[in-house]
């Protein structure tokens, strides 16, 4: 610690005396707080690279579309595609530690995005005939496999599994109503959803009732 010869005081963290302004003498003390170095983790660097790449791709596509207006407004499809990617990625990072909610939310959001893209591309019906049944069937099967493997208790995934089963049955109802032409994926998804609901009714009904009462404050 440095000392002022005139005031006879010990001063920390300065090279001059705060009382008289004279230069201090003695050995400088070690810093009180360690100097922190800014380190960017591998995941942080990857996120920056992804953000830089997607934004650059969007800007380049907008510029090329502006230089070639006769090709149509295709650059906006690229922008919407980038926005769709970052929406799914944000939800993935937000619920990465809550797997049941992650799988359920991703399936629902991806299905909404498929409906959106099906609509802006002329509505071919593929979002209802194929993507809905595939997404919710995949979510149900994933929960059946991952949750026991991760030893996740039933109360943490039974509600999500029930929602996936109900959404898996929904395309079959559209097929029966005549809104879907090709109904094989919808019927397969509905069969899996029915089996899932039966399993919940036989083995996890008490847990489901308790969770619904807790979440809905019944």
Lowest mean pLDDT among 107-116, 137-146, 209-218: 209-218
Residue 183 lies in a domain: yes
Domain membership of residue 98 (yes or no) is no
Average pLDDT rounded to a whole number, residues 174-202: 93
Does pLDDT of 39 surpass 60? no
The answer to the question of residue 163 being in a domain is yes
Task: Note whether residue 9 is domain-resident.
Answer: yes
pTM for the full model? 0.75
In a domain, 211, yes or no: yes
Q: Which residues fall within 8 angstroms of residue 4, CB to CB, at 6 or more apart? A: 11, 17, 19, 20, 22, 24, 25
Residue 102 lies in a domain: no
Q: Is the pLDDT of residue 191 over 70?
A: yes
State the pLDDT confidence band at 22, using cuts at 50, 70 and 90: confident
DSSP helix/strand/coil, 11: strand
Does residue 39 lie within any of the structural domains? no
Task: Say how far apart CA 48 and CA 198 lie, in whole Å.
Answer: 46
Distance separating alpha carbons of residues 202 and 133, to the nearest angstrom = 24
In 3-state terms, what secondary structure has residue 119? helix
What is the DSSP code (8-state) at residue 69?
G
CA 52, chain centre distance (Å): 19
Average pLDDT, the chain: 88
Q: Among 50-54, 89-93, 145-149, which stretch is predicted with the lowest mean pLDDT?
A: 89-93
Count of domains forming the chain? 2
Position 200 in a domain: yes
Q: Report the pLDDT averaged over residues 57-64.
A: 94
Determine the 3-state secondary structure of 43 from DSSP: helix
Domain hosting residue 26, numbered range: 1-31
Q: Is 129 within 8 Å of 181 (Cβ atoms)?
A: yes
């Amino acid at each position: 610690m440095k000392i002022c010869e005139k005031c006879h005081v010990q001063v920390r963290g300065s090279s001059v005396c705060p009382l008289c302004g004279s230069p201090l003498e003695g050995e400088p003390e070690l810093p009180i707080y360690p100097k922190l170095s800014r380190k960017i983790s591998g995941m942080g660097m990857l996120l920056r690279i992804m953000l830089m790449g997607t934004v650059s791709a969007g800007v380049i596509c907008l510029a090329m579309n502006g230089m070639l207006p006769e090709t149509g407004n295709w650059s906006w499809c690229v922008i919407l595609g980038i926005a769709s990617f970052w929406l799914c990625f944000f939800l993935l990072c937000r619920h990465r530690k809550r797997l049941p909610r992650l799988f359920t939310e991703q399936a629902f959001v991806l299905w909404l995005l498929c409906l959106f893209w099906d609509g802006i591309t002329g509505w071919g019906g593929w979002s209802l005939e194929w993507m809905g049944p595939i997404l919710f069937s995949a979510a149900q099967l994933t929960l059946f496999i991952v949750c026991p493997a991760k030893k996740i208790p039933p109360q943490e995934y039974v509600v999500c599994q029930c929602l996936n089963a109900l959404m898996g049955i929904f395309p079959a109802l559209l097929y029966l109503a005549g809104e879907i032409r090709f109904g094989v994926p919808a019927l397969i998804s509905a069969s899996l959803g029915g089996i899932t609901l039966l399993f919940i009714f036989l083995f996890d009904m008490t847990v489901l009732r308790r969770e619904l009462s807790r979440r809905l404050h019944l």
